[in-house]
């Protein structure tokens, strides 16, 4: 019950006052399955890309974080080929930083920030991480190509 009323409130806020570059909606009539889109930030290799994400809200939300993954392929050191995201706020303590006071809007904003500022020291994709660290131009070129190929509208 708590989950349903909280999710309704969050979705209503995401609809009326979405964070810049982010949209989120219910997938069909299922309250526990959401979809989101994040626009690639200006002056990042993801610029002009539209990235689709899937959000699965667990039964124990907000005491457990939602599972979020990219449906659109993205070339990024912290996001793997299955779309899984390495980000501390998506995991429970002690390894993660999820707190019930966080919400879906905060998570999507954190993911948008991670897209603009990768963390090569905590990678899911080791080869992309070392490319980001040691061959930045090549990383930027590859990320732009993937954005054009998979996220251009």
pLDDT confidence of residue 60: 94
User: What CATH number is given to the structural domain containing 87?
Assistant: 3.10.110.10
Among residues 38, 86, 111, 115, the one annotated as catalytic is 86
- The number of folded domains in the chain is 1
- Give the CA radius of gyration of the chain: 16
* CA distances to 2, 71, 137 from 109, in Å: 23, 17, 26
- What predicted TM-score, i.e. pTM, was given to this entire model? 0.95
* CA distances to 41, 53, 126, 132 from 129, in Å: 20, 22, 5, 5
Neighbours of 38 (CB within 10 A): 25
Could you read off the pLDDT tens digit of each residue along the chain, which spans 153 residues? 688 899 999 999 999 999 999 999 998 888 899 999 999 999 999 999 999 999 999 999 999 999 999 999 999 999 999 999 999 999 999 999 999 999 999 999 999 999 999 999 999 999 999 999 999 999 999 999 999 999 998
pLDDT confidence of residue 11: 93
pLDDT confidence of residue 6: 93
Range of the domain at 87: 1-151
Contact 71, 33 (CB under 8 A): no
pLDDT confidence of residue 39: 98
Catalytic residue list contains 24? no
């Amino acid at each position: 019950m708590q989950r349903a009323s909280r999710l309704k409130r969050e979705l209503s806020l995401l609809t009326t006052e979405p964070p810049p570059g982010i949209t989120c909606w219910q997938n069909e009539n299922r309250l526990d399955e959401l979809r989101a889109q994040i626009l690639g930030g200006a002056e990042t290799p993801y610029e002009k890309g539209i990235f689709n994400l899937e959000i699965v809200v667990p039964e124990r939300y907000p005491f457990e974080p939602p599972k979020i993954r990219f449906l659109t392929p993205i070339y990024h050191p912290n996001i793997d080929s299955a779309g899984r995201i390495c980000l501390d706020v998506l995991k429970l303590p002690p390894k993660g930083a999820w707190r019930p006071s966080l919400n879906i809007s905060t998570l999507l904003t954190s993911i948008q920030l991670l897209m603009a500022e990768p963390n090569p020291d905590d990678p899911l994709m080791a080869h992309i991480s070392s490319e980001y660290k040691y061959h930045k131009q090549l990383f930027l070129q590859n990320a732009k190509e993937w954005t054009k190929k998979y996220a251009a509208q």
